[in-house]
Amino acid sequence: MMTNNRIRIAMQKSGRLSQESQALLKQCGVKINWNEQRLIAYAENMPLEILRVRDDDIPGLVFDGVVDLGIIGENVLEEEELARTSAGEQVSYKKLRRLDFGGCRLSIALPREMPYQSIQDLNNARIATSYPNLLKRYMQQQGVKFKNCLLTGSVEVAPSAGLATAICDLVSSGATLEANGLREVEVIYRSKSCLIQRALPLDEEKQALVDRLLTRIQGVQQANE
């Protein structure tokens, strides 16, 4: 693989985190020529390049040291970390900073009319989710058994389609649950986006640039407070 002296940062190409990730770099004074079609974008005023990928790929790229930095939702980060550790892999990375965008919660929701007292009511129920590892961790902590229905999209229609009793999905405003006749009964994880760095040390120059970038991010966050 080609090595270069630029910091390589992975960001979501298009989706809920992409605009704010781009805006954050801009606020930090990084000038980038964005070309919608390109996988890689280069900064004009510092040795930094941006790899634009699906958010799901970002944790792995950082864990594997393919990129130096990543901006990613904690939900996706922890899900991938749990998936790898439960497969017996060692995972290491550094969380540099929690960011101010991408806030959401991972929640269990049920058909509105279904009675619910506590999580025990879901003993042996089938739950549809795209986050099987975060759900499993939570259910284990609660001591409740469940059956998985793994869906990477359209999770909210699983109960009405007869695929599952309940769902475990991301919620921000709650409008999607409402529109699908579901009600939120347990919040199992609260997430924001974050900046992560690979565990393998960077050379001195690169680390100095990362440190500078981090100081600027802190400045931007304080200014927005």
CA–CA dist 167, 169 (Å, integer): 6
Name the minimum Å distance from CB 55 to Zn ion. 4
Q: In terms of CB distance, is 55 or 186 closer to Zn ion?
A: 55
Neighbour tally for 48: CB within 10 Å: 23
55 binds ligand PRT (CB under 6 A): yes
Q: In terms of CB distance, is 180 or 209 closer to ligand PRT?
A: 180
20 binds Zn ion (CB under 5 A): no
The residues facing 195 across adjacent strands are: 71, 97
Choices 38-46, 109-117, 132-140, 173-181; region in contact with ligand PRT by CB under 6 A: 173-181
Q: In terms of CB distance, is 56 or 121 closer to ligand PRT?
A: 56
By CB under 6 A, the residues from 182 to 221 that bind ligand PRT are: 191
By CB under 5 A, the residues from 47 to 66 that bind Zn ion are: 55-56
- Backbone phi and psi for residue 4, each to the nearest 5 degrees, phi listed first: -145, 175
171 binds ligand PRT (CB under 6 A): yes
Task: Measure Cα distances from 16 to 37, 138, 156, 193 in Å.
Answer: 18, 25, 18, 10
49 binds ligand PRT (CB under 6 A): no
CA–CA dist 202, 3 (Å, integer): 12
Q: Exposed/middle/buried for 80, CB within 10 Å: 0-12, 13-18, 19+?
A: buried
Name the minimum Å distance from CB 141 to ligand PRT. 21
Q: For CA atoms 63, 64, 69, 73, give the dihedral sign.
A: negative
Q: Which does 16 bind (CB under 5 to 8 A by kind): Zn ion, ligand PRT, none?
A: ligand PRT
Q: Are strands 193-198 and 69-73 parallel, antiparallel or unpaired?
A: antiparallel
Tokens of 22: 């781009």
Name the minimum Å distance from CB 169 to ligand PRT. 5
Query: Quick one: residue 91, left, alpha or beta (phi over 0 = left, psi -120 to 50 = alpha)?
Result: beta
175 binds ligand PRT (CB under 6 A): yes
129 binds ligand PRT (CB under 6 A): no
Q: Which does 104 bind (CB under 5 to 8 A by kind): ligand PRT, Zn ion, none?
A: ligand PRT
Site residues for Zn ion per CB under 5 A: 55-56
Site residues for ligand PRT per CB under 6 A: 12, 15-17, 54-56, 73, 75-76, 102, 104, 169-176, 191
